[in-house]
Chain A
Amino acid sequence: MTSLFLLQLLNGVQFGVLLFLIAAGLTLVFGIMDFVNLAHGVLYMVGAYLMAAFTMITGSFAAGLLLALAATLVFGLALEFLVFRRLYERSHLDQVLATFGLVMIVNEGVKILWGTAPLTVPMPTLLSGSIPLAGPLQYPVYRVAIIAAGLVTALGLWLVINHTRIGMLLRAGASHRSTVSALGVNVSRLFTLVFAVGAMLAGFAGAIISPILSVDTGMGESVLILAFVVIVIGGIGSIRGAFLGALLVGVVDTLGRSFGPILLRTIMDPAAASQTGRTLAPMVVYILMAAILFARPAGLFGRNTS
């Protein structure tokens, strides 16, 4: 049981790391630019599709990943330049409508380009084995690699945000936007930069998960909701909050799904336990969010604006 628990913990951390990569960009865009971007999940999907396309062309995982990262960065910049730039001054409702429309347009565009059948990205042979844990339990090397890549990215973001000038501007922008621009900082360029990096991180998440999940239209929407949960739990605008929130959501969701029914079985009969378990499991994350917001209305690391 303990080794199963360890295994599920690893699964949860891996899921959390992935959520962090998506939520990091979302929380910065929402926190610093006060911009609600429903199309953030689309960047995750586009990253995965570009990864599939480039690995097919180059035949190499590493080259495909690099090209996909560069291409999502360009795609993000293009979106910012063509669409989002015009929406910053608008109300949240306009932003929601416009970005939701964008979700449909990009989904349909991807379908026209790549067809409706899901695509697949071959796993690099170097990372395709599994590590034996206790007994029959094994853990795929690739998932370990995802965890490592996510942690390295988180560390890099932490260094940039806490120890560079740009990071200082970002932190300042998140709490006192008008003051930052009054001090003569080119806010528009800062926004473009934030957006591009956020887009690339989401694209990175899509690209590295593509050997595990099928690349499919609509894959962005399923993670977007959880990404919003993550940034609300962590506190909007806080990278540290997004990191802890993502790990929390990943671990709680995974453990809730696997051990919830087992725990319930100790207090009720098996049939009722499995019925309650499968009803409760998808709710656990939202219950967690409600509980955290009850204790800390601005999230774990959010600043109270009032």
Chain B
Amino acid sequence: MENRNELNTEQGKCDQMSVKSNLVASILAATVLAGAANAADDLKVGLMFTLSGPAATLGEQGRDGFLLALDQIGDLGGVPTEVIIVDDEQKPDVAANKARELVTRDEVDFVVGPTFSNIALAIHKPITDSGTILISPNAGPSPFAGADCHPNFYATSYQNDQMHEVMGAHAKKQGYDNVFLMAPNYQAGKDSLSGFKHSYDGGIAGEIYTQLGQLDFSAELAQIAAMQPDALFTFMPGGMGVNLVKQYRQAGLASIPFLSAFTVDESTLPAQQDAAVGFYSGANWTPDTDNEQSRAFVTAYEEKYGSVPGSYAMHGYDTALLLDAAVRAVGGDLEDRAGLRKALEAAEFQSLRGKFAFGPNHYPVQDFYLAEVVKRDDGKFQTSMVRKIFEDYQDNYASECVMPN
């Protein structure tokens, strides 16, 4: 026994050695090749997501969605594909530096990212200025949808305001006349409430801005209880939403409809669980979207990663499909930038959402839905489609965009 063990370890060492020397050889070869062929034939995609810190779940979903598609397609557009994954740490300065590295050192053809809008604002210029194409699979900041639209920038997700407008339209349709509004006190929070009011014109019971990162909402919930509004509209992403939802139910307020954006979704539901059942959110897709491709995606994702995919994962997946279609359309000729842009604009791919089209500002024109949290038969939680709110809905900034050629 002992001898055999020794033998095994010896062999193990040998294996390791050969792996190491192989690695060295391939690195050397790669460097030499890169010098000669300039890797022009290969397709390089940089993925930039928030992969650390409290919001890492969102970034991980986006990354996993993209990689799942890549797994299934193989090489994007039939061109050997290399993916470089970087973490923006949710810090604009870090993100801008890493974006510069991606375009100058790694010479990527596309950057897919980021998760958050403030990061998008920071990396937009270094990437698009270099001629590299930036595709956002989540962040949809307003400037790039309007006056600052850019031929090298695309968003496959939505314009941020639209999710809030969906809930405003729903509240109006329900005939609510006394809605309580609550959001964290920062730019996205203020945008959220103004987005809601854009499509809601009824009465407002109260408007509270909480501190960003606040975790105990007992004081605010007491005020809501005292006012007994028709409904609550809130925007509380991440951990804030997890806490608010649990405390909302604990305070016995669940009889007041809970309308929200980015507060109850597949990234927070594993922590909110039963507390979130019956709460509403705006959505452009839900895991129970009724088409074959979407069902297959959800099954494959759950099998591979063990969690229910949210819209973050769906956008990542769709972005890979979009790239695949565009590269295929130009026959793998990545130097043909004009052709690539045209192919991206055409968006000839089968989105998990069903239909998908870009508006003139490179933001999607798509349907939006009211979604409700449900508990599935297998004990997991997901958002479920209730009804369509907007059909072929375009953002409010598209008219301000004059897309340069």
A residues contacting B by CB (< 8 A) are 4, 7-8, 11-12, 14-15, 111, 116-120, 123, 128, 130, 135-138, 140, 142-143, 211-214, 216-219, 222, 254, 257-258, 274, 278, 281-282
Contact = CB atoms under 8 A, between A and B. Distances in A.
A214 B271 contact: yes
A222 B225 contact: no
A278 B209 contact: yes
Query: Interface on chain B toward A: helix, strand, loop, or mixed SS?
Result: helix
A282 B246 contact: no
A301 B96 CA distance: 49
Given A216-B54, A222-B213, A254-B218, A120 B225 contact: no
Contacts of B223: 4, 258
Contacts of B251: 130, 138, 140
A120 B271 contact: yes
User: Closest 9 A-B residue pairs measured CB to CB?
Assistant: A116-B56, A214-B242, A11-B218, A258-B219, A278-B209, A118-B271, A138-B252, A120-B271, A7-B222
Contacts of B270: 117
13 contacts: A7-B225, A116-B53, A117-B270, A118-B239, A118-B242, A123-B250, A140-B252, A212-B243, A212-B250, A214-B242, A214-B243, A222-B215, A258-B220
Contacts of B216: 15, 212-213
Q: Identify the interface centre among B57, B213, B271: most chain A CB within 10 Å of its CB.
A: B271
Q: Identify the interface centre among B52, B54, B207, B219: most chain A CB within 10 Å of its CB.
A: B219
A11 B271 contact: no
Contacts of A135: 226
B211 interface: yes
Interface string B208-241: 1101010110111011011010000000000100
B222 A137 contact: yes
A212 B56 contact: no
A278 B193 CA distance: 15
A214 B216 CA distance: 10
A117 B57 contact: yes
B185 interface: yes
Contacts of A118: 54, 239, 242, 268, 271
B384 to A, nearest CB: 21
Contacts of B220: 257-258
A125 B185 CA distance: 35
A15 to B, nearest CB: 7
B247 interface: yes
Contact of A130 (B209, B250, B271): B250
A7 B218 CA distance: 9
B267 interface: yes
B367 to A, nearest CB: 29
B60 interface: yes
B295 to A, nearest CB: 24
A216 to B, nearest CB: 5
A135 B228 CA distance: 10
Contact of A216 (B208, B218, B239): B239
Contact of A137 (B54, B225, B247): B225
